[in-house]
Amino acid sequence: MILKVKNLSIKYQNNVIFNDINLSVSDSDLVVIKTGVSDGSTSLLKALYGNTQYVSGSLHFNNNDVMSLSRKDINRIKSQIGFVYEQAGLISIYNILDNIILPLHYHALENKDNVEVVHQVAEDFNVQHLLMREPSELSDVEIRLINLVRAILMKPKLLLVDELGGGMSESFEKNIINKILAYQSQIGFAIVLTTTLEQIGFGTQQYQIKDRSLVRL
């Protein structure tokens, strides 16, 4: 079990965003969460990522009790989690290639073959032509795809994908999901993905956000 969540609640400024969330994610799971407008899905994924402020309950990642860890240890665990931001996530003073390479270097994953591998994965997601551009030149969809490329290159144990399909056509989003699944098969990681797609039967677990909780479908 890579991720186990029990009775998780998220509050912000005395407002309950989520209440009593329970979720178990195995190593090869694809957990798909159907979301709506402003339903707190980003806050939920951030909590799963280890941003535990305003959070209560229990959260275990790879047998680590995240709620009891120091910030230093949480940051160590984050190196095993890829977070695909819906927007932002890139450093404006670096070009796209450097934005991808930087966390590999920070987490001591960098090697002499990295640039070649970056180009290979970027080509798979049809964003290789963006590598020498600046973040300000990219659309929100392009930024999300770059965040996805970077997260996959981290070879995570868990991939968290926030609102994958925003600004994408349904067919384009499904194509990207298929490519993610191909890398999941190759590398071996669990996925928690939020989407507005109506048909989410491709997930090994399917949920909908309703009444500040997760309802299994």
Tell me the pLDDT band of 114, cut-offs 50, 70 and 90: confident
Note the pLDDT of residue 108.
60
Note the pLDDT of residue 109.
59
User: CB count, 10 Å around CB of 105?
Assistant: 12
- Report how far residue 22's alpha carbon sits from residue 75's, in angstroms, rounded to the nearest whole number: 23
Domain residue limits at 154: 3-216
Using the predicted structure, report yes or no on whether residue 102 has a pLDDT greater than 90. no
Q: How many domains, in total, are found in the chain? A: 1
Mean pLDDT of 29-42: 89
CB-based contact 80:157 (threshold 8 Å): yes
Using the predicted structure, report yes or no on whether residue 201 has a pLDDT greater than 80. yes
Q: How far is CA 61 from CA 34, 66, 104, 186, in A?
A: 23, 7, 21, 21
Using the predicted structure, report yes or no on whether residue 110 has a pLDDT greater than 60. no
Task: Write the pLDDT tens digit of every residue in 36-83.
Answer: 877 889 989 999 998 877 788 999 999 999 989 998 899 888 889 999
Percent of the chain whose pLDDT exceeds 70: 96
Note the pLDDT of residue 16.
86
Mean pLDDT of 195-211: 92
CATH number at residue 187: 3.40.50.300
